[in-house]
Amino acid sequence: MDAAARERYSRQILFSGIGEHGQEALLRSRVAIVGCGALGSFQAPALARAGVGSITIIDRDYIEPSNLQRQWLFEEADAAAALPKAAAAAQRLARINSTVQVRAVVTDLTAANAEDLLGNVDLILDGTDNFDTRYLINDFAVSRDIPWVYGAAVGSYGLAMPVFPGRSACLRCLYPEPPTGAQPTCETAGVLNVITSLVASLQVADALRILSGQADQVRPRLTRADLWQGGMRQIDAPARDPDCPTCVRRQFPYLDESRRAPVSLCGRNAVQIHEDARPLDLDSLRSRLEPLGEVRANEFALRFVVAPYEMTVFPDGRAIVKGTSDTGLARSLYARYVGM
């Protein structure tokens, strides 16, 4: 660590919990953030300011005006340009800390790309909004013995829990199956930005302890908080389920690529279409679609509006179809305007 780094991180070095050796460990560390919405957009700048050496940001979505109330890295201009969240985050982090290596990946985390995106990191942070992706993170992390930190928030309520493979309960111990029935989402129940920042802060606090070399001192605990009704509670994480299919029986079904399918996005009245990876020429697609409806495009994505639907198409062939939660209709629209 040179003199400039010692000055920059002096307040963390002075903190006895980190010190110089801990700061050096942070500078060498590698983190993946899965999802750059309300949680991830707080986690990323917090880690960059703390000097985490390498940050991979994985997010499939683009910035909308409704994100700005709680997604900490983004501004009105980002929403007006419909920038992908991962790309906009990388641009902002470069201005926050130019010494941090940031890898922005505008895609979905899948079984097919998990090894490339997560295989070389020391820690994974959950910034997602759905259980399928969390189960995928859990399967991958447990199978590779990588710690990760679960987090979720909706309304005024949130929770966080670190997962240490082989040492603590994993997500499948806590939730053997995804919740059934209608669940509250940010679209249906709203969300306070203070609960998302609290949950993300709890996740980052665990991350800093783990990455600075004190993972063995992190007590696996489940933290629950409600910032409107009041109250915050921490309890020891439940014991590992002796029959857990993931961390005991070592079954990892979410790493099976055949599970991949179109999925409705959390509470968004939108469907994401996962097609086989195939590069798309967005300029050519723009020329074909302009006679048919409103088209806006940048280097990251193309947005096509044909009322009452809106389709955002990415260079890898993926698309988000807004205005329906019917996956069959979404696939039909994709086939009609993009081609299968």
The pTM of the full predicted model, rounded to 2 decimals, is: 0.86
**Which long-range contacts does 96-100 make (Cβ < 8 Å, 24+ apart)?**
96/45, 96/48, 96/49, 97/48, 97/49, 97/51, 99/5, 99/51, 100/48, 100/51, 100/52, 100/53, 100/54, 100/55
Distance (Å, rounded) from C-alpha 246 to C-alpha 64? 36
Instruction: Give the residue carrying structure tokens 């710690």.
Output: 147
| Residue type present at position 83 | L
Paired tokens of 335: 């086939």
For the chain, what is the radius of gyration of the CA atoms?
20
Confidence of residue 253 (pLDDT cuts 50, 70, 90): very high
Average pLDDT over residues 119-136: 93
Distance (Å, rounded) from C-alpha 155 to C-alpha 199? 12
Q: What average pLDDT is seen over the chain?
A: 91
Paired tokens of 118: 């997560």
* List of domains in the chain: 3-257 (3.40.50.720), 261-337 (3.30.310)
Distances (CA, A) of 212 to 17, 51, 199, 218: 9, 11, 20, 11
Paired tokens of 35: 């999802």
* Number of residues that this document lists for the chain: 340
12-65 per-position pLDDT tens digit:
999 999 999 999 999 999 999 999 999 999 999 999 999 999 999 999 888 989
